Amino acid sequence: MAEETDFQFYYDGELVDAGIMDARDLAPALLALADLIDSANKEVSGGSSNVSLRVHSDFKNKCFEVNLSVVVGYYRQFVDMFTAPEAQAWAALCSVIGISGFGLLQLIKKSKGRKPTRVVAIQHTQKVSIEFDGDDPIEVDERVFRLFQNSAARNAAAKIVAPLERDGYEELGIKYRGEKVLKVNKEEAPYFRALEEYEDEIVSESPAYVKIITPSFKEGNKWRVHDGDSIKSVDILDEDFLLRVRTRDELFGNNDYMRVVMRTKQWREGEKIKVTHAIVKVLKHETIPKNGQLDFGENKS
């Protein structure tokens, strides 16, 4: 058995006055919203229920408003994980996101891009007290705060708000049961930018040899490389190298290797250790020669 709840998701501004929105702006935002719902489902139910986002076809004029449904498959299994009544079990999922109450999206807006100065667990509850510099403490569901620290959830939230950082979009909002539960204007959009730093993170850079497993020719996508120990997904931060890829000055084949400067970031989220890898600079790109020896001497001119 499946169960669903409806809400409205809209953008407003000069570009959408006629109820028209560029698919290149809308599609990434909707995909990011689906990713955010998936992150919230993992936090609320451990990912044991299948949750999906459905788009309805009736769009509104004057602003670009989309009717959406969050659909939970295996609804009875989802509800049985909670001791609360069904309505509260269902609300937990929608609330931690910010669809039906104060959730992640509202907390990011409240943070104004700041890190909390103080976080205290409230005994005998599932809430924490969060304090931002200069503001009074606020109490939120502990799952909301965990999402606030979750890089995948924060990256998804950033993509949802990203159109506001472009000309022609002035406002993003969510309506639930006819009530506006979220409004983000253009000036507030930078608060939602993806996390780049984490508390107590460890950052290291070192030269490395990597074998190219899967290059990516789509902007923003990760490459897959092998460093002699394991396959890693990496961001490429070397803009000069990416330009050569786009202009086909860099071509790839089997057994291609690179000598690079690799940046590794590690941080802790609760009991989990997170790690990301990025190639800061490509020092040399070369195909292994027939004699089996790599020549990483001078850089290509």
User: Are the C-beta atoms of residues 147 and 38 closer than 8 Å to each other?
Assistant: no
DSSP state of 211: E
Instruction: Give Cβ neighbours of residue 219 (< 8 Å, ≥ 6 apart).
Output: none
Average pLDDT for residues 192-197, to the nearest whole number? 73
pLDDT of residue 245: 87
Average pLDDT for residues 184-205, to the nearest whole number? 81
pLDDT of 179 over the 70 cut: yes
Q: How far apart are CA 59 and CA 14, in angstroms?
A: 17
Distances in whole angstroms, Cα of residue 96 to Cα of each of 24, 40, 144, 218: 28, 7, 5, 32
pLDDT of 83 over the 60 cut: no
Distances in whole angstroms, Cα of residue 179 to Cα of each of 102, 290, 291: 13, 68, 70
Residues facing residue 225 across a β-bridge: 212, 232
* Helical segments of 18-150, H only: 23-45, 75-80, 86-97, 104-111, 142-148
Burial of 297 (0-12, 13-18, 19+ CB in 10 A): exposed
pLDDT of 85 over the 80 cut: no
What is the residue-averaged pLDDT of the chain?
79
pLDDT of residue 269: 65
pLDDT of 63 over the 90 cut: no
What are the DSSP E strand ranges found in the chain?
3-12, 51-55, 64-72, 118-121, 127-131, 138-141, 171-176, 179-185, 202-214, 223-226, 231-236, 256-269, 272-287
Q: Which of 99-103, 171-175, 267-271 is predicted with the least confidence, judged by mean pLDDT?
A: 267-271
pLDDT of residue 101: 83
pLDDT of residue 100: 83
Average pLDDT for residues 75-88, to the nearest whole number? 45
Average pLDDT for residues 83-105, to the nearest whole number? 71
pLDDT bracket for residue 58 (50, 70, 90): low
Q: CA-based Rg of the chain, rounded to a whole angstrom?
A: 22
- Write out pLDDT tens, residues 226-281: 999 999 999 898 888 888 888 888 888 777 899 999 999 887 766 778 888 999 99
Q: Which of 59-63, 129-133, 285-289 is predicted with the least confidence, judged by mean pLDDT?
A: 59-63
Residue ranges and CATH numbers for the domains of the chain are 3-192 (no CATH), 202-287 (2.40.50)
pLDDT higher at 233 or 217 = 233
Percent of the chain's residues with pLDDT above 70 = 76
pLDDT bracket for residue 105 (50, 70, 90): very high
- Write out pLDDT tens, residues 110-160: 999 888 888 898 888 888 999 998 889 999 988 899 889 888 888 899 999
pLDDT higher at 28 or 195 = 28
What pTM did the predictor assign?
A: 0.61
